[in-house]
A and B are shown apart, each in its own frame.
Chain A
Amino acid sequence: MISAVLVVTRRNIVQSAIFLITALLATAGIFLQLHAEFLFIVQVILYAGGIMVLFVFVIMLINLDVSLHQVQFNRQWWLGLVLALALGAQLTVAIAVGRSGLPLGEPVPATMLEPSTELVGKVLFGEYMLPFEIASILLLVAMIGAVVMAKKKV
């Protein structure tokens, strides 16, 4: 949470990126706490180890010295802040009020769970096979798009 706040407030982009990495690792830790081991490691490999490397590459290839002295926040930052906090407050009230109303029973005891990897594998290759295939096509399209975007001469 702290690292998340630091992400959006730092002036130096590299520091922002580093705090995003720590925020992602913290999220991975929360997954581990929720007995989702496979998701923990997938988060570490893909998000922290892949996407953030991409971000850091781009940040380092683009000249930063100018941006350090620019104004960091929008001209309408107060409006944005107010609206975002209003959204947050609304959702907080929604959760707090509905907390007692929803049938949030006791979570399943941890010892009764199968290993998360097997469970996820069964679900992914069983019921959600079609979204799985579509996700792979999406990745292919994204790869081609990114390569075309970043080429010097198309």
Chain B
Amino acid sequence: MHLLLHFVISYWVPLVCAVVIVAVLPLVAGYIVLMERKVMADMQARLGPMRVGPHGLLQPIADAVKLLLKEDIIPDEADKAIFWVAPLVSVTAGMLAMSPLAIGPWFQIADLNIGLLFIVGISALGIFGIVLGGWSSNSHYSLLGALRSAAQLVSYETAAGMAIVGALLLAGTLSTREIIGAQNDYGVWFVFAAPVGFFIYVVASIAETNRAPFDLPEAESELVAGYMTEYSGFRWALYFLAEYTNMVVVASIATTLFLGGWLRPFAGTRAFDFLNYLPSALLLGVAGYCFYRAPKQPVKIQQMVLAAVGALILLVAIILGAPLVAPAGSMIANLKAGLHGAFWFLLKVGLYIYLFMWLRFTFPRYRFDQLMRLGWQFLIPLSIVNVMGIGLALVLHRQFGWSHWTAFPLTTILTLGVAGLLGAAGEKQEKAHAVVGEEV
């Protein structure tokens, strides 16, 4: 007992962070689903969920309640132990992967020496949840969907890893906190120094999380939700949660590594200090919009809820803005780094997830063999060339004394040239295959 108390007291910050993440993540995942439905509706010129709560804001809660109340169906011939364990493996892997992430300068569960590699490794373990789930459902479609999905994940994991290695060459460390520190030292986010790496990572991460246009394993028209077919009610909700958690993890890795983590845009230059007011300004704008729309809601309760939401956002805006106007050196002013850092991080993660959704509703789905060809014959060679290119740029900069501004764009252009060659070769092969298909 005494040992437990000692443990809690010395490790209370990581414990609190861990509890917050585990408690908040399902809610956040639910709201990402709502965001997706709203974005989908917006791109399809309609309105999305509007009924539950004002503008559909309480929809995730309704969904969660519905899923909890559904009947838990277990297929007859299924291997019960594995059926029970498979969603747990996916969710656990997803949540474990959130631990080395530094959401703000103060909000991190564990600053591992090998943080980034740890996240990649644990995401690799998440593949098991999918495979075991498909297997234990004892149905051909589930198994096929699961194996296809696992094959896709394994293929793009290599490409994603190599893209990460490319940016790691610039950072020089695997610890998430120090990577952001390195970006601060460089003065420029790594996305500008390694844009090809960022592009590869975006594509690979879309494939890693089974999102469109790479979502063949779970496409509704293809395999009836693939490995998730036989899961109903809360088990399905766990898989769903795992998928959206993976999306958040992948977005967080991209933000940490490429987009500068918790740094404000142009963090080093004093001339852009007015950007410090951006968080509060943005949130004030959103709160104002809430108050503006509140009286126009049809039902009285929805008016009140929307007004409450507006008040909440106003409160957050005030909390964010207070350190800026408080006298320097006081306790409130010292909160600035933590709060603003967290805001910028979450904003970037949100933008990256919006990018995912944007791509989902724009592009048609890839066929499975096209998907595999893209992964193995285009992305992996390109990522290897990217690593070589960044290495070359670093050598040019450090040994031969070229400046940043000449070395990196040069290698980027070279890598893009290789990408063009690979793309042309891929198209020629695709045409050859198509012709053969016609003749047969």
The interface residues of chain A lying within 8 Å CB-to-CB of B120 are: 45
| Minimum distance in angstroms from A37 CB to a CB of chain B | 5
Chain A residues with Cβ below 8 Å from B132 are 18, 56
Chain A interface residue count, Cβ-Cβ cutoff 8 angstroms: 23
Residues on B close to A: CB < 8 A? 79, 81-82, 112-114, 117-118, 120-122, 124-125, 127-128, 131-132, 135, 143, 147, 150-151, 154, 174
Whether the Cβ atoms of B82 and A18 lie closer than 8 Å is: yes
A49 touches B121 (CB 8 A): yes
B127 contacts A53, C-beta separation under 8 Å: yes
Residues in A with CB closer than 8 Å to B127 are 49, 53
Select B174's contact among A45, A57, A117, beta carbons within 8 Å. A117
* Bound-state Cα–Cα, A15 to B122, Å: 21
State the CA gap A53–B121 with chains docked (Å).
Answer: 13
Nearest CB in chain A to that of B131: its residue: A56
Partner among B81, B124, B143, B147 whose Cβ is within 8 Å of the Cβ of A45: B124
Q: Is the CB of A14 within 8 A of B79?
A: yes
Residue from the set A37, A41, A48 with the largest chain B CB neighbour count within 10 Å: A41
Among A37, A52, A53, A117, the one with the most B-chain Cβ atoms within 10 Å of its Cβ is A53
Give the residue of B79, B113, B128 whose beta carbon is less than 8 angstroms from that of A56. B128
Q: How distant is the Cα of A129 from the Cα of B112 in the complex, in angstroms?
A: 27
**CB nearest to B158 among chain A residues:** A50
B120–chain A nearest beta-carbon distance, Å: 7
Most buried by A among B118, B124, B127: B124
Interface code A18-46, partner B: CB below 8 Å = 1, 0 otherwise? 10010000000000000001101100110
Residue pair A53, B154 in contact (C-beta under 8 Å): yes
CA distance A97 to B115 in the complex (A): 42
> Which residues of the partner chain A approach B150 to less than 8 Å between Cβ atoms?
53, 57
Could you pull out 27 A-B pairs where Cβ atoms are within 8 angstroms?
Answer: A12-B79, A14-B135, A18-B82, A18-B132, A37-B113, A38-B114, A40-B114, A41-B118, A41-B121, A44-B121, A45-B117, A48-B124, A50-B124, A52-B128, A53-B131, A53-B150, A53-B154, A56-B128, A56-B132, A56-B135, A57-B131, A57-B147, A60-B131, A60-B143, A61-B147, A115-B113, A116-B113
Cβ distance A45 to chain B, nearest Cβ, rounded Å: 4
Q: Are A49 and B124 in contact (CB under 8 A)?
A: yes
What is A's interface to B at a CB cutoff of 8 Å?
12, 14-15, 18, 21, 37-38, 40-41, 44-45, 48-50, 52-53, 56-57, 60-61, 115-117
Assembled-state Cα–Cα distance A12/B117 (Å): 33
Whether the pair A60, B147 counts as a contact (CB closer than 8 A) is yes
- How many angstroms between the C-alpha atoms of A71 and B302 in the bound complex? 67
Majority SS of interface residues in chain B?
helix
Q: How far is the CB of B115 from chain A (nearest CB, A)?
A: 10
Number of A-B contacts (CB under 8 A): 58
Q: In the complex, what's the smallest C-beta–C-beta distance from B76 to chain A, in angstroms?
A: 15
Known: A37-B114, A60-B131. A44 touches B147 (CB 8 A): no
Given A14-B82, A53-B150, A57-B150, answer yes or no on A41-B128 (Cβ-Cβ < 8 Å). Answer: no
Contacts of A37 in B (CB 8 A): 112-114
| Candidates B113, B128, B135, B151; contact of A117 at CB < 8 Å | B113
> Residue on B with the closest CB to A116?
B113
Contacts of A45 in B (CB 8 A): 117, 120-121, 124
B117 / chain A contacts, CB cutoff of 8 Å: 38, 41, 45
Taken together as a complex, chains A and B put the C-alpha atoms of A45 and B116 apart, in Å, by 12
Query: For A57, what are the chain B residues with a Cβ–Cβ distance below 8 Å?
Result: 131, 147, 150-151
The answer on a CB contact under 8 Å between B125 and A49 is yes
Contacts of A48 in B (CB 8 A): 124-125
Task: Name the CB-closest residue of A to B136.
Answer: A14
Q: Apart from A18-B132, A53-B131, A60-B147, what are 4 other A-B pairs with CB-CB below 8 Å?
A: A41-B118, A53-B150, A56-B131, A56-B132
Please determine whether A117 and B131 come into contact, CB atoms closer than 8 angstroms. no
CB-based nearest B residue for A60: B135
Q: How far apart are the CA atoms of A49 and B154 in the complex, in Å?
A: 9
Instruction: Please report the C-alpha to C-alpha distance between residue A21 and residue B81 in the assembled complex, in whole angstroms.
Output: 15
Q: How far is the CB of B219 from chain A (nearest CB, A)?
A: 21
Considering only CB atoms, which chain B residue lies closest to A56 in the complex? B131
- Residues on A with C-beta less than 8 A from B154 are 50, 53
A5 CB to closest chain B CB (Å) equals 18
Least Cβ–Cβ distance between B67 and chain A, in angstroms: 27
Pick from A15, A18, A53, A117: contact of B114, CB under 8 Å = A117
Q: How far is the CB of B160 from chain A (nearest CB, A)?
A: 12
